[in-house]
Amino acid sequence: MYPSTEEQALISLKLIDGIGDRIGRRLIQHFGSATEIFHASKKSFLLESQFTPRMFDVLQNRSAAFDRASKELAFAKQNDVSVVGILDDRFPRRLRHCNDAPFVLFVKGNVDLNPDRVVSIVGTRSASSVGRAAVEKLVAGFKGSNTLIVSGLAHGVDGSAHQEALNNDLPTVCVLAHGLDRIYPPEHRKMALEMLERGGWVSDFLSETNPDKGNFPERNRIVAGMSDALIVVESKRKGGSMISAELAYGYNRDVFAFPGRFNDQNYEGCNYLISSQQAQLITSAEDICKYMNWNEPSKTITQPKLLFDLTPEEEQILHLLRQQEQLSLDELAGTLSAPVSTLSIHLLNLELNGQILVHPGKVYSLR
């Protein structure tokens, strides 16, 4: 039994016990598609040291997965939901480089998940009037820039971020901790439907999945991984916003936080992120654009004379920067299929030898 489409193969792979996101991504990257995984022989598994006979055996228990995948595809077709695999050009390229990224997403709406700028905004569900005012000012500062605003549709800061994006004609995406057959919280359904006109809904959960508590940390990795910058507006010391901030920091994203009074519980998380240097203190969108180098005009690049020998990896980096002018650390890592730790050494060598410039937001260009 084999899948009839790549979408069915992706969903089936997700449904098979013993194949999680990490193994699934490795299989897809090796075989070139989810469909080819199900056509692979046991010998092809044994020839690769990263795969085991058990992985192959697990994939043979696929009848029930195929049946459920067919049902999910029918739901997707009836409800204009796209099944987007990790190798698909529509998949968020920033998220693709995260080591725990899902290998398939369900997307509904009219949205480009790969615009020039993506900002995730998170915060407490019990936002104060001060926090809501901060969100209003922050999002209004991006008006006219076509910045994609990402959040989780929750009460408080999340809902304010989406609503202000709509008010300022900015695209906005909600990442959901359940299937796309429902909206939670239900009070935000009207707003969520409005978001489909210039934005959308994203989830890695199948339909009929409830918004259970354990799903939200998984949702947060997508909120963090999709972004160039993650902004914490108002947060207690513990909670989903802090999980998102820690994930973003671990993904080498730029994290920003609004400061608050030292004795205000709703700002304990923000103040901690700033004091521990995991987040940059900001008070406006202008601060973020300045730090991220988003307002700097393009410059004519003159490359200095080469006075040292390049490694093959460093030559590749320079070649890419000649083509693209500017690339982020994650974009370089994804294009070169190189670990960030190794790539950082080559980038440092090139910077010290006067070949490249590093800009805010871990963005690189030729000198």
Strand partners, 256: 231, 280
pLDDT in tens, 67-121: 999 999 999 999 999 999 999 999 999 998 898 999 999 999 999 999 999 999 9
What distance lies between CA 231 and its chain's CA centroid? 14
Pick the CATH number of 118-291 from 3.30.465.10, 3.40.190.10, 3.40.50.450, 3.40.50.1100: 3.40.50.450
- Per-residue pLDDT at 45: 82
Joined tokens for residue 148? 């994609």
Quote the crossing angle between the two packed helices 329-336 and 340-352, to the nearest 10°. Answer: 120
SS3 content of the chain, % helix, strand, coil (to 5): 45, 15, 40
Residue 296: per-residue pLDDT: 60
Which structure tokens are listed for 300? 């004519």
pLDDT of residue 304: 44
According to the model, what pLDDT value does residue 302 have? 43
Round to whole Å and give the CA distance between 145 and 142.
6
**CATH class of residue range 312-366:** mainly alpha
Domain ranges in the chain? 1-78, 118-291, 312-366
**Assigned token pair, 362:** 């871990």
Show pLDDT as tens, one digit a residue, over the chain (367 residues). Answer: 788 899 999 999 999 988 999 999 989 988 899 999 999 888 888 887 778 888 888 888 889 999 999 999 999 999 999 999 999 999 999 998 898 999 999 999 999 999 999 999 999 999 999 999 999 999 999 999 989 999 999 999 999 999 999 999 999 999 999 999 999 999 999 999 999 999 999 999 999 999 999 999 999 999 999 999 999 999 999 999 999 999 999 998 999 999 999 889 999 999 999 999 999 999 999 999 999 989 864 443 344 444 456 788 888 888 888 877 788 888 888 888 887 777 888 888 888 777 888 887 788 888 7
Residue 306's pLDDT is what? 44
Helix (H) or strand (E) holding 151: strand 148-151
- Cβ neighbours of residue 115 closer than 8 Å, sequence gap 6 or more: 146, 147, 148, 171
pTM of the model: 0.81
